[in-house]
A = this chain, B = another copy of it.
Amino acid sequence: MKPIQFAIEKKIPGALGRAGVLTTPHGTVMTPAFVSVGTKATVKGMTPEMLRGMGGQITLCNTYHLYLQPGDELIRKAGGLHAFMGWDGPMMTDSGGFQVFSLGAAYGKGISKVLHPADPSQQIPERSSADDGVPRLATIGNDGVSFRSHIDGSLHYITPEKSMEIQHNLGADIIFAFDECTSPTEERRYQEEALYRTHAWAKRSLDYHHNKEDNASRQALFGIVQGGRDEELRRMSAKEIAEMRTMEGAEFDGFGIGGSFEKDDLHSAVRWVNEELPEEKPRHLLGIGEPEDLFMGVENGVDLFDCVAPTRNARSTGTMYTKEGRMRIMNTKYREDFNPVESDCGCYTCKNFTRAYLAHLFHAKEMLGSILASVHNLYFLTNLVSTMREKIIEGTFPEFKKEFFESYTK
């Protein structure tokens, strides 16, 4: 018995898009679906009850963050992520690959593709690889990745097997193979190299996962397709990941589409990949979730999306999604505006509070501002994708998309 089942209910005629039902050990997800991101075992500022209340079906936590704090062993002892964070619905963890690269670079120390030996924060880790064509001091090796903790600077080493082990400890319903995420600005030679590494790591992830029978029966493993902006590499990666098998014939339960994209590439990269992937398995577009991307993704056969933008935009600048585009609630004009953010929105925030109140909360730096704005944004995207699903089933997705973009300005 496989840990998840996926059934397609209806397709968008002449396109790759589809509406489906994904069944996991912790419940069912009606796809396409927006996955809320609970980086450190909490969707920032939201209780699980609020997540449910705004229609949240499924949550994704970050392996990298949880490995460092509070540690995957601790979460295993707590009974896994579901028990630890009080979310009893479907849950995913990512592979940690993306965070190792992006956070490493973001924090200016630890991992980077070309290290500067003069910088003491970039000392070569003991087990870095040497003969992979990357400069001598790189911390990405064919075996795995060395990086420094952004919390305490301690050195860590993650291999595909280690990523699996961590994700087994975390115990999400859907986990991801360890991968290398590349920048779209990398040249083709590096993209190719990184892709081979990603495929090798995918195979090792798959093998390790299926060597742990208990986990393989409870946790679905998704393989990640990479390949940057290159059509040949993207199609090749999709085929290779789709056809990957263990010696016993076990395969990936679904697929992630990874990469750090430039906006213009996104559409074509997703289409190339989904033209190659087997139709009957679910596909997750990793880390993407602006409204325009959601339409593009759904149309091109994506079933699941996750993105921190709705909660990050809410918290950091009081920016909220509306059907007319983004609203910056701290703009002076909202100070005495006694309408809800959106008058026809069904979220807790719009049903109970005005723009003026939200503006006040943000001006007064009150926590409740971030909470209410996050509730609205998560509801907006969750509801947008679930409306797309309805429209696919009704057969009116193209009309809905057209209507949406008549009012929505990016």
Contact surface of A with B, Cβ cutoff 8 Å: 40-42, 44-50, 69-70, 74, 77-79, 84-86, 335-336, 338, 348, 352-354, 356-357, 359-361, 363-364, 366-368, 370-372
A–B complex contacts, Cβ < 8 Å, 9 sampled:
A45-B368, A45-B371, A46-B368, A47-B368, A70-B359, A74-B356, A74-B360, A78-B354, A78-B357
In the complex, the answer to whether A352 meets B48 with C-beta atoms within 8 Å is yes
**Interface contacts beyond A78-B356, A367-B370, A367-B371: sample of 12 additional A-B pairs, CB < 8 Å, sorted by A:** A40-B364, A41-B357, A41-B360, A42-B367, A45-B367, A45-B371, A70-B360, A74-B335, A77-B336, A78-B354, A84-B360, A86-B357
Chain B residues near A335 (CB-CB < 8 A):
70, 74
Chain B residues near A46 (CB-CB < 8 A):
368
Known pairs A353-B86, A357-B86; A366 contacts B42 (CB<8 A): yes
> Max chain B CB contacts within 10 Å: which of A86, A360, A363, A370?
A360
Q: How far is the CB of A334 from chain B (nearest CB, A)?
A: 11
- The residue in chain B whose Cβ has the minimal distance to the Cβ of A356 is B78
Chain B residues near A44 (CB-CB < 8 A):
366-368
In the complex, the answer to whether A69 meets B360 with C-beta atoms within 8 Å is yes
Q: How far is the CB of A78 from chain B (nearest CB, A)?
A: 6
Q: How far is the CB of A60 from chain B (nearest CB, A)?
A: 16
In the complex, the answer to whether B69 meets A368 with C-beta atoms within 8 Å is no
In the complex, the answer to whether A338 meets B368 with C-beta atoms within 8 Å is no
- The residue in chain B whose Cβ has the minimal distance to the Cβ of A369 is B42
Chain B residues near A353 (CB-CB < 8 A):
85-86
Q: A364 vs B66: C-alpha distance in the bound complex, in angstroms? A: 10
Q: How far is the CB of A245 from chain B (nearest CB, A)?
A: 38
Q: A77 vs B74: C-alpha distance in the bound complex, in angstroms? A: 52
Q: How far is the CB of A394 from chain B (nearest CB, A)?
A: 33
